[in-house]
Amino acid sequence: MHVIHDGRRSRNGGLNVVLMASIFIVAGILFLGRNLGFIDHQVFRIIVSWQMLLIVLGLNSLFRRQTVGGGVLIGVGVFFLIPRISGLGYDWVATYWPILFVLIGIMLLFKLWKPGSFPNPGRRYSQDTSYSSADGFVTSNNAFGSVSQIVLDPVFKGARITNTFGSTILDLRHTTLEASETYIDLDCTFGGVEIYVPHNWTVKSNLHHFFSGNDDKRYRISEVPDSTHKLILRGNISFSGIEIKS
């Protein structure tokens, strides 16, 4: 398996490092303030909570222009934070939980109407986490980092991608499909995966979503699609975004 990377840290990777560093610094200050009595216990429970973590991750996704995933994370965090701030109790959550579905629907419509972003031909690739590959098959494990790969093998035989709180880029524009069905197995949690493929490839999604989304952002051109070979995405994605680009 031939893979190209330029050894530089990508912008997304830098943002991930800044985010993690900021979380540790702020958490240390908050715990110290609580121990010294400067921060009220109730206020501390609101600031240091899984709801606030979702909001921070959502803001990070917005900075990386993942509007749908970021908006959903922020919306879910704020929704479950309201009972703590207002004192309404979790009976309020049991009554108004359908609002989350309305939020997801609005975000999906927003993404549909948003003008498509053009690919940057000068985009650089970097590798900050580990991957392994053999005989046309890619295995990538990424946690709290950024990994980017360009596959140069004559035939792409599939991939297994695990992405947790990270960003993964897989470029397949310089390879081909030989089997009638080629699979990419995804396990993505609180992250983003971008897959670059040729214009005429047929890509099918069999992904299981939980507060997540996947979008095909390729140019719509007149080139006849290749219906004899299919790239199939399968697996589970939670609080994440998968994008197909060319």
Predicted local confidence at residue 186, as pLDDT: 92
Cα separation, 171 vs 180, whole angstroms: 20
| Residue of higher predicted confidence among 27 and 10 | 27
Q: Which residue has the higher pLDDT, 12 or 243?
A: 243
Integer CA distances (angstroms), 147 to 169, 186, 204, 209, 230, in order: 6, 15, 23, 22, 25
pLDDT tens track for 73-91: 788 888 888 877 877 766 7
- ∠ CA(60), CA(62), CA(68), 5° rounding? 120
Predicted TM-score of the model (pTM): 0.52
184 pLDDT tier (thresholds 50, 70, 90):
very high
Instruction: Provide the residue ranges of all domains of the chain, joining segments of one domain with +.
Output: 11-113, 123-245
More confident residue, 234 or 91: 234
Give the distance, in angstroms, between the CA of residue 165 and the centroid of all CA atoms in the same chain: 8
Q: What is the DSSP string of 165-222?
A: SSEEEEE-TT-B--SSEEEEEEEEES-EEEEE--TTEEEEEEEEEES-EEEE-----S
Q: How far is CA 153 from the centre of its chain?
A: 26
Task: List pLDDT tens digits, range 12-43.
Answer: 555 556 666 777 788 788 888 888 888 887 78
pLDDT in tens, 84-130: 787 776 677 777 778 777 777 776 666 555 544 434 433 433 344 45
